[in-house]
Amino acid sequence: MNRSAAVLLTLVAFAALLLAVAAWAGKRTHNAADFALANRRLGVWLTALSCTANTVNGWLLMTLAGAAFAWGLSAVWICGAFIAGSALNLFFIAPRLRAISVGQGTATLFQVLSADAGDRLQPLVSRSALLIFVLCVLLQTSAMLRFAGGLLVDEFGFNLISIALTSMFLITVGAFAGGLRAAAVGDAVQVIAVGLFAGLLLLGSSFAIEGWDQFKIAFTSLGPLATDGFGGRKGVVALSFAAGVFGIGLGVMGQPQLATRFMAARDEKTLFQASWLALALITLLVGVVLCCGWAASVLYAGLNRPELAMFTIADRLLPPLLAAFIAASLIAAIFANVGSQLLALATTLGIDSRRVNAPLSIGWSRAAMVLSAVLIVLATLWAPSTVFEHAMFGYSAIGASFGPLLLVRVCGKRVRPGAMLAAIWSGFILSLLFHLLPDAPGDFLERVMPFVASLGIALTGGERRRNPDRADRSQETVHDRVPI
């Protein structure tokens, strides 16, 4: 058996597993609440694993390994960023968001954010958020599919069009039949696969380097830039770099696919236990892939594409068939996360694009899923080769657009509709502008400033009217205008 055949068999096995999960979840999906939120019955392990996968997905973990390869020791700030951002998201935002969602009967993040905008402006707020989310998700998913598909094309001779069509068809079938349950199981498979194989690659690397002492000697030989915690930066530039990297953790907040997992947890106890488990898994995964990147920088210092560090370790240290199996499994993990993105896009399109008080409809959500799958395939096939360079923009822009407003909302502060729109659009537009400008140290301007600006608008745009129960001027009565 050659390497291409091993990859094909691995992907076929993954497809069979995906169809089995779809059949299992489909039997438990009977209505729109089942489809969008698993009827709020996700258990501890599925909630934890799904939260982990949607915080640090397979593609992002490959990117983090590449950052460790390219940056050296200064990449350790990434671990701190994800731990801090995830802790705030899991222990402060998650329980409050779940309580608000259950109390209001809302099924999407945008329904929660726009709930106090009033009947007149709520559609504008939710659809503005939906437009931003659609653009960012198409950018992210096309980058993921082009990255995974490009590996299969370059290394194993597959066809990109066939890969895009086949993978999206299977992912859509699974999510179409099983909704959130199917996506959560796919997330669990992704976390387990990436964790096991990243650990195996790190173990193999440690044997190749011949121990910790040899690693320290080899790592020191890479130069002072690799061994310095700030990458050789000093003063204000070093602080800007650290703050910019920590800004990656801000993007964790406001991710709709992650917020849905909080809403779908069975109860408060389940969410609390899952949060601790997810934080431990996130810390472990990020730590392991960073170590893989550092090990690759010692073993293969001349690597042209740092994001392929983990694949290079597998290819050069392991037997060919085992390396092909691991590479195919990591690629399948990237495909699995596209299912969560697809489901989030479909549920928001199927719910937030309709009338404010329209009941949930599984038919609308599934129709939106088919449309979303078509859009993702077209974006993947038409995306330029440089789309991978802009994928992190989509992640940061979502966090800057929705994270600040979500923070303010879960704190119990009401925000005026105009301030809601300003907070959402300022986060997105500033992220786009700073992304187009030359990079600052650690991308500080792109990752921090839009979030801070959006948060400032949300905080200063609180409800100031005398009647605290009134959310919109159209709801004002004569008693609100005339003192009694």
Residue 368's nearest CA partner among 29, 36, 23, 19 is 36
Provide the number of structural domains found in the chain: 1
pLDDT greater than 50 at residue 297: yes
What pLDDT is stored for residue 463 in this prediction?
A: 63
What string of DSSP letters covers 163-207?
Answer: HHHHHHHHHHHHHHHHHHHHHHHHHHHHHHHHHHHHHHHHHHHHH
Q: For residue 251, which amino acid is it?
A: G
- Residues spanned by the domain of 343: 3-463
pLDDT in tens, 310-347: 999 998 888 888 999 999 999 998 888 899 999 999 99
Tally of CB atoms within 10 A around 95: 17
483 within some domain: no
Is 327 within the bounds of a domain?
yes
Asked if 310 and 64 count as a contact pair (C-beta separation under 8 A), the reply is: no
Flag whether 481 is in a domain: no
The token pair that represents 53 in the structure block: 């996968």
On the question of pLDDT at 468 being above 60, the answer is no
Apex 351 CA angle, 388 and 458, nearest 5: 70
Angle subtended by helix axes 268-299 and 44-55, to nearest 10 = 40
In angstroms, rounded to a whole number, what is the distance separating the alpha carbons of residues 255 and 403?
8
Q: Answer whether residue 475 is part of any domain.
A: no
Region 161-186: mean pLDDT is: 91
The maximal CA–CA distance of the chain, rounded, in angstroms, is: 86
32-69, pLDDT tens digit by residue?
889 999 999 999 999 999 999 999 988 899 999 999 99
Reported pTM: 0.90
Examine residue 484 and state whether it is found in any structural domain, yes or no: no
Say which CATH number the domain at 42 has: 1.20.1730.10
Answer yes or no: are the C-beta atoms of 265 and 98 closer than 8 Å: yes
d(CA 108, CA 264): 10
Q: Of 459, 410, 460, 451, which Cα lies nearest the Cα of 430? A: 451
C-alpha dist (Å) from residue 23 to 16, 73, 336, 342: 11, 45, 16, 18
Contact 51, 90 (CB under 8 A): yes
The answer as to whether 410 is a domain residue is yes
Write the pLDDT tens digit of every residue in 413-428: 889 989 999 999 999 9
Six-digit token string for 142: 């096309």
Q: Rounded CA gap, 121 and 365, in Å?
A: 23
Q: Which stretches of 3-73 are assigned E, i.e. beta strand?
A: none
Percent above pLDDT 90 for the chain: 53
Is residue 169 within 8 Å of 400, Cβ to Cβ?
no
Q: What is the DSSP string of 402-454?
A: HHHHHHHHHTT--B-HHHHHHHHHHHHHHHHHHHHSPPPGGGHHHHTHHHHHH
Q: Specify if 477 maps to a domain.
A: no
d(CA 296, CA 111): 45
Residue 90 included in any domain: yes
d(CA 420, CA 409): 10
Calpha distance 57→39 (Å, rounded):
24
Name the pLDDT band for 287 (thresholds 50, 70, 90).
very high
pLDDT band, very low/low/confident/very high, at 464 (cuts 50, 70, 90) = low
